[in-house]
Amino acid sequence: MLLPIYPPDPSPALLDAVVAAGYQPVPVDDIDDVINRVPDGGWAPAVVEARHDLGAALALAGKIQDEAQLPVLLVLDRTLTADIAAETAMSDFILSPIDRSELRVRLGRLGSVPEEIESAEVLTFRDLELNLATYQATIAGTPSDLTFMEYELLRFFVENPGRVWSRDQLLAKVWGYDYFGGSRTVDVHVRRLRAKLGEERSSWITTVRSVGYRFG
């Protein structure tokens, strides 16, 4: 799918991530570009990168939402997070440096997922379904609102049932070896997952005393 991207000279890392997610980026200069160059199949969600001028990026993002009726994913440096706390000009945002998987997930949630990704495997465990293309989770057919890392942790559990995993192993496998958070991060996410799974299913995640957790 064709995806409008601003500015016309986006960072190479962003371009690579968009292409890796299955989209074809089309650089645009302004709102007229977005409106006048609509492809036959329509646009995928727009991506606006706040590289030099946050104000200009937000202004265009707002026009794309209002005039082109497209959802907008804003890409910005984490130092600017506080500056967009009250902003409504974008539909969602992602911080740089960009995580490719997260970008694909966020774009998928904003609009159509490219056809070759739609057929991706759906993981199931009893009445739980995890859609690997859209990062959506449903329990007994009802959508569950999971954060990105909650989803990643639950996905790891579903893919590796029965085995006991220590907190350090889960940190390394799910959060990555370069994550500097403590093991309490795992406990917090397990507690949140149990709450979102509900009382009947919270027992799917078992605490193994002095070791860690087991799923299934």
Q: What is the mean pLDDT of residues 124-142?
A: 87
Number of domains in the chain: 2
113 & 13 share domain: yes
Q: How confident is the model at residue 177 (pLDDT cuts 50, 70, 90)?
A: low
Given 117, 145, 180, the domain boundary residue is 117
In tens, the pLDDT along 18-72 reads: 998 889 999 999 999 999 999 988 999 999 999 888 999 999 999 999 999 999 9
Same domain? For 113 and 144 the reply is no
Q: Does residue 17 sit in the same domain as residue 110?
A: yes
Inter-axis angle of helices 100-110 and 12-20, nearest 10:
60
**Burial (CB count within 10 angstroms: exposed 0-12, middle 13-18, buried 19+), residue 175:** middle
107 and 155 fall within a common domain: no
Q: Going edge to edge, which strands form the sheet with 212-215?
A: 164-166, 212-215, 205-208
Q: What's the pLDDT score for residue 115?
A: 46
Q: Specify whether the CB–CB gap between 28 and 5 falls below 8 A.
A: yes
Q: In CATH, what number is assigned to the domain containing residue 101? A: 3.40.50.2300
Res 45: pLDDT: 95
pLDDT over threshold 80, residue 109: yes
Q: Given this model, what pLDDT does residue 52 score?
A: 80
Tell me which residue range forms the domain holding 182.
122-215
- Give the H or E element holding residue 153: helix 148-159
Q: Are residues 83 and 178 in the same domain?
A: no
- Number of alpha carbons in the 13 Å side-chain half-sphere of residue 88: 1
Mean pLDDT across the stretch 100-115? 77
Same domain, 6 and 104: yes
Q: What letter does residue 9 receive in the DSSP assignment?
A: S
Domain termination residue (choose one: 117, 142, 157): 117
Does 113 lie in the same domain as 7? yes
Q: Among 125, 135, 189, 194, which residue's Cα sits nearest to residue 160?
A: 125
- Which residue, 117, 152, 186, sits at the end of a domain? 117
| 132 and 113 both lie in a single domain | no
Q: What percent of the chain has pLDDT over 70?
A: 94
What is the value of pTM for the model shown?
Answer: 0.55
131 pLDDT exceeds 90?
A: no
Domain match, 104 and 206 both:
no
CATH of the domain at 210: 1.10.10.10
Do residues 193 and 150 lie in contact, with contact meaning Cβ atoms separated by under 8 Å?
A: yes
78 lies in the same domain as 100: yes
